[in-house]
Chain A
Amino acid sequence: MQPQGRGAGVPLNDALSAIGRAHREEWARVVASLARRFGDLDIAEESSAEAFAIAVERWPVDGVPPNPGAWLTMTAGRRAIDRLRRESKRENKHREAGLVIDADPHEPLGAIDDDRLRLIFTCAHPALAMEARVALTLRMVGGLSAGEIARAFLVTESTLGQRITRAKAKIRAAGIPYRVPAAHDLPARVSGVLAVLFLVFNEGYLATGRESDPMRPALTAEAIRLTRLVRVLLPDDGEVAGLLALMLLTEARAPGRISASGELVPLQEQDRGAWHPALITEGHSLVRERLASGVAPGRYQLLAAINAVHTSARDFRDTDWSQVLALYDQLVRLDPSPVVALNRAIAVAELDGPEVALAELEDLEPALAGYHPFHASRAELLRRLHRSSDAAVAYQRAIDLAGNTAEVAHLTRRRRQLRPA
């Protein structure tokens, strides 16, 4: 017979799964509240990590505390104070040069006064390089380890560690505030945060590196989780809702997107039955919510609406292309970039035929010569016009430029299947 458990001890698996849950749900809150209390991201990060390590020791023995978040924040706070006592020199230093500990009183924060939001805005600050913003956001807000982030972006752990250290040093030295931006700055700053999250999502959805798996569901899941968090914190922001909808409607199609042989499957060949119905339902409902708001949509909302049209069609041929084109026309007005013009031209091909679309592409060539989707799209149009040898050249250009292994496999097959002219 097993001896009876003593005290409040719980089975190890229960304790570990409680810690895993607390890590997902409470990490950002613990780091954010410590960062505000101690005015230093280093101390916040290290003490939070220590608190979780202590939980791994204590919870299986003492039991899972009734309020894990409060326990972790309190434990991390004690570790931070111990650390500051031990390194009292450092305390002086951080008082001199540290973050602005409290928000400026002249800026009312209202409903969005949440430490996690301050943390997100600090990590995604426009004065930091994009790669530093991504690393810092995933570490400080997402709770990913330096090793996990390094693997995701194909850099060594020490490079990634330096990137984070340098970013934290700049935050201190340059006086980047720990604060939700003022109302007039908010739209631009939110869009900076969303750019970070969208980059993480895209890197998971279609990895750019040849060394990487073609799709990394852990990264798309993390991007969605963080975007959900931003939506909780900024529920009235249309672009936050738009980005979440865009991610959900894109992620919904993941199950049909890579073939058994590891090739990327284009939209027209995907098994729509394999798509994720719950994600589509949620994405559509967000798009409807934004439409009902009557507020002019931003970039992410328009992209989400385009994806809603695609995910509403039972079949590729049922796609409402005139709706897709109307949405791209709106998007071009907001964002007249050549990449948007390229995607618009793909919709034009479905409505007005490949010849018209190809003419539009020719104008984009100078700007997009190094962008593999341009050559892949051009190759598809040339194929439809039976210009096989031109198509073969365009496929080859796309293959040379593409990094994603599944995409390269798909393009290689398409080129092989060209009929001789």
Chain B
Amino acid sequence: MQYLFSVIHDEIELATAEEAAAIDVFNERIQTEGYWVFAGGLTAPDAATVVDNRRDQALVTDGPFLESKEYLAGFWIIEAPDLDVALALAGDASKACNRKVEVRAFR
């Protein structure tokens, strides 16, 4: 199964050099172990742009879709046989990036 690890954070600061280094170590490990599918860190939410083309014309707005205290700072997509394996990896991921991680399975 594939799982999305969403990195949830409530401050605008990006990862420190130490956190970034720990994330690199974790990424290398899960690549070696075969869990890695994809991962990435995101820019701050105030640099987001929302596009809504559900009607006739695409409406472009500056800023995040939702003004919320917590936002998505980055994510991993991993391949794991079950939730127990995913949760163990998410624990290591949370430690590496020093932020909360939400785990959801892809359908």
Contact = CB atoms under 8 A, between A and B. Distances in A.
Contacts, number: 34
Interface string B61-82: 0000000000000000000111
B1 interface: yes
A177 B84 contact: yes
Interface string A170-207: 00011111010110010000000000000000000000
A110 B81 CA distance: 21
Given A173-B105, A174-B105, A175-B105, A127 B82 contact: no
A97 B80 CA distance: 14
A173 B82 CA distance: 10
Contact of A100 (B82, B88, B104): B82
A8 B71 CA distance: 69
Contacts of A179: 82, 84
Contacts of A173: 105, 107
B87 interface: yes
A104 B81 contact: yes
Nearest to B104: A174
Contacts of B86: 175
B20 interface: no
Contact of A127 (B80, B81, B83, B88): B83
Given A127-B87, A175-B1, A175-B86, A100 B105 contact: no
B87 A177 contact: no
A176 B81 contact: no
Contacts of B83: 125, 127, 174-177
Q: Which of B1, B3, B83 has the most CB atoms of chain A within a 10 A radius of its CB? A: B83
A125 B86 CA distance: 14
A240 to B, nearest CB: 20
Interface string B41-56: 0000000000000000
Contacts of A97: 107
Contacts of A177: 81-84
Interface of B: 1, 3, 80-84, 86-88, 103-105, 107
Given A175-B1, A177-B84, 13 more contacts: A100-B81, A100-B82, A104-B81, A125-B83, A127-B87, A173-B107, A174-B104, A174-B105, A175-B80, A176-B84, A177-B83, A179-B82, A185-B88
